[in-house]
A and B are shown apart, each in its own frame.
Chain A
Amino acid sequence: MAFRSRPSHLPLENDSSSRFLPSIVALMVALLTFSIVGLAVLHDTVGRWATQIDGSLTIQVPPTGLSQLEPKQREAALEERVQTIIAAVSGQPGVARIAELSPDKMVELLEPWLGPNEMISDLPIPRIIEITPSSGFDFNVLEATVSRTAPEAVLDDHRIWLERISDVAVSVEMALLALIGVLFAATTLSVFFATRSGLSIHKSIIELLHLIGAPDGYIAGQFARHTMRLAFLGSLIGIAIALPVSLLIGYLGLRAGWQIPATLHLPLFFILVLIVPVAISSVAWLTAKRTVLKVLRRML
């Protein structure tokens, strides 16, 4: 009796192992999704900090100890301090540009507080040096140089704080990325073992199908398809659990004044979330197929 048409699909879904695999996959995928959402939020926050850091930083040169001098002399002394700092810092690696904020610009900045031009020019206001860092810039070196050449100058330390926090955040981000990797490996492994133990239950049906003349490829294909569907179902359940919870947390966060992470708008994020079920289903499919073929090869 030859194949008259394509063999039909076997009803494999009613056995007990059919609940085991989706549960495990759902749990792992939920964890995985949480981590991905967490990573997206963190990555975005770190990115926001980084843009603040990437901008220029400033050195304030106050007229400390010069208040007794005449305005003209005072300004000259101040100018000398500024030039000393510029000379010392500009040789340092990672300094793309260093310049004093022009007096006009200063006046412009201060006008709303201090009134028109003529008055300001007589006041003992600090000078501001602006530095645009490039790669290789080292804040600690700058700090040392400045305190050596002009102890009274003030480096804006907002940046230090940001930099340290952002270092920590980057480490956390790396850890989270590693966690996602580990979770993914664990998911793959549990799909692998769940599929294999499921198939040991199925050994009798595999053997029977073999004896009634089902080709190896057909039997393996049936089980692979069945297992893939279970894994996909499990993934969807996992995402269905994790996403609303993440959204809820996000919503509560928004009400508490957070910003929506830009990463969540990226197609990349959704691709990542979608890749999970696809990848896991593929692992399940491949594992089932290979395991069944291996079992069959041992039969005559």
Chain B
Amino acid sequence: MNDVVSFRNVGVRYESGPEVLRELNFSLTRGSFHFLTGASGAGKSTLMRLLYLALRQTRGEISIFGRDNIRIPRDELPAIRRKIGVVFQDFRLINHLSTFENVALPLRVAGVEDLQIRKNVTELLEWVGLGDQINAIPSRLSGGQQQRVAIARAVISRPALLLADEPTGNVDDRIAMRLLYLFEELNKLGTTVLIATHNRHLIRRFGHKHWLLEGGTIHDLDHRPQA
């Protein structure tokens, strides 16, 4: 099958609260690019958590890279997670590590050689406009700069699936465009992309598929404007 991810009748509730997500039926085909919008509290981050295997559904079935997420043995999860790049809504940068080391983490964990790490990380940091902040620690960076570090870390290992939770919330439109181009580059290389965003301008400008999360479930707006 060509689906990177597919959901069948998925529902999620936290503890004994109401169902935050329900009746989710969708799939992400290999190489697809989707925008996901929805009001604050609609469940975008929850959906992302399901996708990066930090949360399990309370009902329904999720298949990821062709595997039933519930049935994957614990020791096989890391290898699957390494195929997924995530831009967390709260960045999750490590404060005592430099920009360089933060971005290098996924490569270190994957056992990439130092020389290769140095080359790739430096190149990417130049690309996202942080070439002069390589040794800075995250707390010294502006919100927008931190966000770009988080994005660089998510894409550094060229993941098969890229998930970004409001990745352009803190940057101006010019930088947001540049970051979106980066995601598009990756997408052209085969990465499946899902971006949660509020930026309607970007959605219109880039014209990818557009899903709306409302009432706990996904509505396909299929916004395909003047491409």
Task: Flag whether B187 is at the interface (Cβ < 8 A).
Answer: no
Task: Flag whether B78 is at the interface (Cβ < 8 A).
Answer: yes
Q: In chain A, what residue has the closest Cβ to B154?
A: A212
The answer on a CB contact under 8 Å between A208 and B94 is yes
Binds B, one of A3-11, A147-155, A265-273: A3-11
Binds B, one of A50-58, A102-110, A137-145, A213-221: A213-221
**What 1/0 flags go to B76-116 for Cβ under 8 Å of A?**
01111111101000001011110001000110111111100
Residues from chain A with a CB closer than 8 A to the CB of B94 are: 204-205, 208
Q: Which of B53, B54, B78, B101 has the most chain A CB atoms closer than 10 A to its own CB?
A: B78
Task: Flag whether A69 is at the interface (Cβ < 8 A).
Answer: no
**A300 vs B74: C-alpha distance in the bound complex, in angstroms?**
8
Task: Flag whether B157 is at the interface (Cβ < 8 A).
Answer: yes
B residues touching A (Cβ–Cβ < 8 Å)? Answer: 52-56, 75, 77-84, 86, 92, 94-97, 101, 105-106, 108-114, 117, 153, 157
Residues from chain B with a CB closer than 8 A to the CB of A218 are: 109
**A253 vs B101: C-alpha distance in the bound complex, in angstroms?**
54
The answer on a CB contact under 8 Å between B80 and A4 is no
Interface residues of A in 273-300 (CB under 8 A from B): 299-300
Task: Flag whether A182 is at the interface (Cβ < 8 A).
Answer: no
Task: Flag whether A211 is at the interface (Cβ < 8 A).
Answer: yes
**A214 vs B107: C-alpha distance in the bound complex, in angstroms?**
10
Residues from chain B with a CB closer than 8 A to the CB of A2 are: 79
**Selected contact of B157 from candidates A1, A10, A16, A204, CB within 8 Å:** A1
Residues from chain B with a CB closer than 8 A to the CB of A6 are: 111
Task: Flag whether A70 is at the interface (Cβ < 8 A).
Answer: no
The answer on a CB contact under 8 Å between A4 and B97 is no
**A7 vs B94: C-alpha distance in the bound complex, in angstroms?**
18
The answer on a CB contact under 8 Å between B113 and A214 is no
**A5 vs B111: C-alpha distance in the bound complex, in angstroms?**
5
The answer on a CB contact under 8 Å between A212 and B96 is no
The answer on a CB contact under 8 Å between A1 and B108 is no
Task: Flag whether A76 is at the interface (Cβ < 8 A).
Answer: no
The answer on a CB contact under 8 Å between A211 and B105 is no
The answer on a CB contact under 8 Å between B110 and A204 is no
**A86 vs B137: C-alpha distance in the bound complex, in angstroms?**
89
The answer on a CB contact under 8 Å between B78 and A1 is no
Beyond A1-B83, A212-B106, A216-B78, 18 extra complex contacts between A and B, CB < 8 Å:
A5-B112, A7-B110, A8-B108, A14-B97, A15-B96, A16-B96, A205-B94, A207-B92, A208-B92, A209-B105, A211-B54, A212-B109, A213-B78, A213-B79, A213-B81, A214-B78, A218-B109, A300-B56
The answer on a CB contact under 8 Å between B110 and A3 is yes
Residues from chain A with a CB closer than 8 A to the CB of B81 are: 210-213
The answer on a CB contact under 8 Å between A5 and B113 is yes
Q: In chain B, what residue has the closest Cβ to A18?
A: B96
The answer on a CB contact under 8 Å between A213 and B108 is no
**A214 vs B78: C-alpha distance in the bound complex, in angstroms?**
6
**Selected contact of A213 from candidates B80, B95, B112, CB within 8 Å:** B80
Q: In chain B, what residue has the closest Cβ to A205?
A: B94
**A2 vs B96: C-alpha distance in the bound complex, in angstroms?**
28
Residues from chain A with a CB closer than 8 A to the CB of B157 are: 1
**A212 vs B94: C-alpha distance in the bound complex, in angstroms?**
13
The answer on a CB contact under 8 Å between B114 and A8 is yes
Q: How far is the CB of A28 from chain B (nearest CB, A)?
A: 26
Q: How far is the CB of A271 from chain B (nearest CB, A)?
A: 37
The answer on a CB contact under 8 Å between A1 and B105 is no
**What 1/0 flags go to A183-220 for Cβ under 8 Å of B?**
00000000000000000000011011111111110100
Q: How far is the CB of A293 from chain B (nearest CB, A)?
A: 12
Q: In chain A, what residue has the closest Cβ to B92?
A: A208
